[in-house]
A = this chain, B = another copy of it.
Amino acid sequence: MEDFPHAESIGLTDVTIDEQFWNSWLETNREVTLEYQYEQLESSGCLENFRRVADGKTGGFEGMWFADSDAYKWLEAASYVLAGEDSNRGDDRSNARRNELQNRVDETIDLVAGAQDEDGYLNTYFTLEEPEQRWTNLNMMHELYCAGHLIEAAVANYRSTGYRSLLDVATRFADHIDSRVDDEIDGSPGHQEIELALVKLARVTGEDRYVDLAKTFVDRRGRADRFEREFERVENIAGYDPDDGGIATDARGAFYEDGEYDGQYAQAHAPLSEQETIEGHAVRAVYFYTGVAAIAAETGDGDLVTRLETLWENMTRKRMYVTGGIGSSEHGERFTEDYDLPNKTAYAETCAAIGSLFWNQRLFELTGNAKYTDLIERTLYNGVLSGVSVDGTEFFYDNRLESSGDHHRRGWFDCACCPPNVTRLLASLEEYLYAASGDSLYVNQYIGSTVSTTVEDCAVELEQTSAFPWGEDVTIDVRTAEPTTFSLELRVPSWCSDATVRVNGEPISMNEDVLSSDDGEYVTIEREWDDDRVEATFAQSVVPMRTHPAVGENCGRVALTRGPLVYCLEGVDNDRPLDQYSLELDRGFDSRGGDEIGDSLEGVNGSDLVVIDCEATVPSLEPWDSEREPVRESGTPVEADIEAQPPLYQPDEDVRDETESVTAVPYFLWDNRAPGEMAVWIRGTSSNR
């Protein structure tokens, strides 16, 4: 039995991304989205809430009661950007921009600090609106959730800048919570988040009691009496009115099923140790299990890891879209049941995909298993990137897998959780690329970048170039301060069945299992490294994927994938209504540069963009729409012939099919051009079955 964690991801400040595909996304994220979202924080009243508290005002809170978290997520994202700007670029323009952003971050931190009560409490909704009701409704009022985001922002800010100002605020609030957790705060949070944040706080402060506090929240969870007791308490508050939208926000709809306490919505239906399937609100679930994984990494508790692996198996084998999206139902934004994965009503919230990244990152760290980093790749390119427009200013809350043309990204939401979540994820993408473990150095994502780290006490630098996601070639130049023996672990993606790896031109032999696995696997290159070049090719053929037959609506359908990307059909590229296409899989696929599409999408380099052409069977329209004899009824005046209408139903033998070309584009790019139909799962036949 091995100690946990197995590996540690290499942090933001030691990694610099420099690759055409990602540069475009990350630059838009830094320069457009971050700025746009700050404007939203102002215009939505979110920052004004902090100002009102600092100014000693009461009432007048604006936005959802958890709006503070929007500011915290922005601060977290901005802090990551500051770290990247600091280490990556030194030109005048970026320095000026860095200074401007630093000033804005400092101002915002001042606002937050000014809103903190003397006793460390910090929540503008309660302080402005219901100061007497602090900690009375942990289920729905998200004080602990907001505290968690404050802590995450503080840790990010401290790690990125070294300044303690926000960290001090967060620590004071955490201490406030810690001091009251045995009496006033006698439950667990209705929306998990603080658990994972407290472990981060423990790591930067060295204070294990924050891990204990996180563990307390996890251990309390799923004891029905705690939640039920709180419901009773809320209802006993003087002036309780379930319809008034204040403290009394009634969560029975989410926690009760047919009048009986259920708790699945918030993973509170059973203690963690008894949870066999992944249930409830998807964001809550993956935030929760991220926190549990973080605790396991601190405590070395193997039972927790086994539990998480069981839940992960259930999620990925039965309850996850091919994009990595999770939480299939809009009702409750939640997991439902095995194989219930509707396309047109797919919820697959952007935040849930991001939370899945967090969780998978920690599962990888715990176990060193490539299936987790592999799923990060799939989710990042499909489930997350789809959530933001190419221009960085519009967002999907829910990521449908099929649309009749009426689903579009929007600028901001009343419940604005997703936009700043995308921003903080992209701003910290560097953290997902590399990891170290003893004498192993992991390359988890193929994204052009450099990393400086230490392996076996020796300084090691990797310089990676990658053609992903459009191309298949990766080079990694390994430079060590002195010749040192260690293992370089390259992830062989699950989608790749034909990979070659060479070191200084010499092929590395690879176990067939690595290539045929359904999951990602690592290929290990153990040698004495000095100044060496690794070249890898991960063949990216077009692979039509089938779904487990239990997913009824995907029966007879395929999703086209190529490398890490899921593709889709959009109306703008195809003449027929999408329902009419049945892909002729035997006739193969033509991957080609999508210049004309890329050119129309600012921010996506058209020369690299790959689209897929293939042939599809479509019904010939001739038997349906051909001119009919004028309808001349006996008894109808001849001069009043009725307009001829094509028939609605015809015998199969009287109709014919023909073949037309279709063009598929990467799913993450959909709804960036003309509005129209979209479908991931397309009817398709292959004769070799």
Contact (Cβ within 8 A) B683 A318: no
Q: Is the CB of A652 within 8 A of B546?
A: yes
Q: A306-B636, A556-B556 are in contact. List 6 more A-B contacts (CB 8 A).
A: A4-B635, A322-B649, A518-B647, A543-B652, A547-B648, A558-B652
A647 near B317: Cβ-Cβ < 8 Å: yes
Question: Could you list which residues of chain A lie within 8 angstroms of chain B, going by C-beta atoms?
Answer: 1-2, 4, 6, 302-303, 305-306, 309-310, 313-314, 316-318, 320, 322, 366-369, 518, 543-553, 555-556, 558-559, 576-580, 582, 585, 618-619, 621, 624, 631, 633-638, 640, 642-643, 645-653, 655-657, 683-686, 688-689
Shortest CB-to-CB span from A574 to chain B, Å, is 14
Q: Are B689 and A657 in contact (CB under 8 A)?
A: yes
Q: Do A621 and B556 touch across chains, with their CB atoms under 8 A apart?
A: no
Report whether B685 and A685 are in contact in the complex, using a CB–CB cutoff of 8 Å. yes
Query: In the bound complex, how far is the Cα of B302 from the Cα of A6, in angstroms?
Result: 87
Docked-complex contact A544 and B689, CB < 8 angstroms = no
Contact B556 A683 (CB under 8 A): yes
B548 touches A624 (CB 8 A): yes
A369 surroundings in chain B (CB, below 8 A) = 633-635
Min CB gap A651→B, angstroms: 5
Which residues on the B side are within 8 Å of A657 (C-beta)? 689
Q: For the complex formed, measure the closest distance between the CB of A118 and the CB atoms of chain B, giving whole angstroms.
A: 45
- Is B619 a contact of A549 with CB atoms below 8 Å? yes
How long is the Cα–Cα vector from A646 to B686 in the complex, in angstroms?
A: 23
Q: Contacts A306-B640, A635-B305, A656-B689: A647 and B553 contacting too (C-beta < 8 A)?
A: no
Task: Check A577–B552 contact: CB distance below 8 A.
Answer: yes
**The 6 nearest A-B residue pairs measured at CB:** A552-B579, A317-B645, A367-B635, A306-B640, A549-B619, A544-B652
Taking the closest CB of chain B, its distance from the CB of A189, in whole angstroms, is: 28
Q: Give the copy number.
A: 2
- Out of B367, B551, B618, B637, which one reaches A302, CB within 8 Å? B637
- Write out the residue numbers on chain B whose beta carbons fall within 8 Å of the beta carbon of A647: 317, 518, 548
CB atoms of A316 and B648 under 8 A apart: yes
Q: Find chain B residues with CB under 8 A from A544 CB.
A: 651-652
- A634–B657 Cα distance when bound, in Å, is 52
Q: Which of B553, B638, B651 contacts A543 (CB 8 A)?
A: B651
| Interfacial chain B residues near A555, Cβ < 8 Å | 579-580, 582, 619, 683
Q: Using Cβ atoms and an 8 Å threshold, which residues of chain B touch A619?
A: 546, 549, 555
Asked if residues B553 and A309 are in contact (CB atoms below 8 Å), the reply is no
B residues in contact with A643, CB < 8 Å: 310, 313
A649: contacting residue among B306, B547, B553, B636, CB under 8 A: B547
List 16 A–B pairs whose Cβ atoms lie within 8 Å, in order of A's numbering.
A1-B637, A305-B633, A306-B642, A309-B631, A309-B633, A309-B642, A310-B643, A322-B649, A368-B635, A549-B579, A549-B618, A550-B624, A552-B577, A552-B579, A555-B582, A652-B689
Do residues B652 and A318 form an inter-chain contact, with CB atoms below 8 A? no
Contact A310 B642 (CB under 8 A): yes
Determine the chain B residues whose CB is within 8 A of the CB of A558 once the complex forms.
Answer: 652
Q: Which of B6, B547, B556, B646 contacts A548 (CB 8 A)?
A: B646
Residues of B within 8 A of A318 (CB): 645, 648
Most-contacted residue by chain B among A309, A367, A578, A624 (CB, 10 A): A309
A95 to chain B, nearest CB (A): 44
A276 to chain B: closest residue by CB = B643
Asked if A2 contacts B635 (CB within 8 A), the reply is yes
Contacts of A648 on B, CB cut-off 8 Å?
Answer: 316-318, 320, 547-548, 551
